């Protein structure tokens, strides 16, 4: 099993990093291979809707997005961690995720996704909801814990005191490991669910 963990915080060893590290420790105990990719300090622009990814099979801007795409394709699961900026996902992470999901041609179906958020006080649940939408439009099962996947604090040292938050991360990692292994077993024994040709409906035909 392989898991890609993406740190969207500008600080590699900040609150988000501390939460992800708690998950990494459990993944390692479970024999899951992990890669932590820090993108929050990178200069990542948003999508410009040029459509070149349809021709190239990757984003025309060759940056951390294309680096992550290779790891994402090989992974059985992904964890996206973001700090809260003004009650939402920070801008760098949004640009990263928009381009990552739009530009990659490989199927994300049945890869397990987990969102992790961090804030000093408020905005975690709104940020959590936004991150999960990338999974649920991509046929990716979402891993959960015994509480929403969040930690609280202004510094990594604060997060050390959030014992409930750290426990939530450990439970999330264990549940995610079980889900990935279960999906792998189900794929082997039963195959994937039937896939219909996608129907796209709109109501802009002027009638």
The confidence band for 203, taking pLDDT boundaries of 50, 70 and 90, is confident
3-state secondary structure of 141: coil
Nearest to 38 by CA among 7, 4, 5, 77: 7
Tens-place pLDDT, residues 28-47? 999 999 999 999 999 999 99
Contacts of residue 7, Cβ cutoff 8 Å, sequence gap at least 6: 16, 17, 20, 36, 37, 38, 39, 40, 81
Tens-place pLDDT, residues 46-75? 999 999 999 999 999 999 999 999 999 999
pTM of the model: 0.95
pLDDT for 202 equals 81
> Is the pLDDT confidence value at 200 over 90?
no
CA distance readout (Å), 94 to 9, 73, 167, 173, 207: 12, 19, 27, 23, 36
pLDDT for 39 equals 98
Q: What is the mean pLDDT of residues 94-99?
A: 98
160: how many CB neighbours lie within 10 A of its CB? 14
pLDDT for 201 equals 87
> Is the pLDDT confidence value at 111 over 80?
yes
Strands 33-38 and 77-85: unpaired
> Is the pLDDT confidence value at 207 over 80?
no
> Is the pLDDT confidence value at 80 over 80?
yes
Question: CATH 3.40.50.360: does it fit domain 2-190?
Answer: yes
């Amino acid at each position: 099993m392989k898991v890609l963990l993406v740190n969207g915080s500008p600080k590699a060893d900040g609150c988000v990093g501390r939460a992800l590290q708690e998950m990494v420790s459990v993944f390692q105990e479970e024999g899951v291979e992990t890669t932590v990719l820090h993108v929050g300090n990178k200069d990542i622009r948003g999508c410009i809707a040029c459509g070149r990814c349809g021709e190239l099979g990757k984003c025309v801007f060759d940056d951390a997005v294309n680096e992550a795409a290779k790891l994402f394709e090989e992974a059985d699961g992904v964890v996206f961690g973001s700090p809260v900026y003004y009650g939402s996902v920070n801008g760098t992470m949004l640009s990263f995720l928009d381009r990552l999901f739009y530009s990659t041609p490989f199927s994300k179906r049945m890869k397990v996704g987990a969102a992790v958020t961090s804030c000093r006080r408020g905005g975690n649940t709104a940020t959590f909801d936004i991150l999960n939408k990338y999974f649920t439009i991509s046929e990716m099962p979402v891993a959960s814990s015994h509480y929403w996947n969040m930690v609280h604090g202004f510094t990594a040292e604060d997060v050390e005191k959030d014992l409930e938050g750290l426990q939530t991360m450990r439970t999330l990692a264990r549940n995610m490991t079980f889900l990935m292994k279960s999906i792998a077993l189900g794929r082997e024994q039963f195959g994937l669910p039937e896939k219909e040709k996608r129907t796209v409906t709109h109501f802009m035909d002027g009638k």
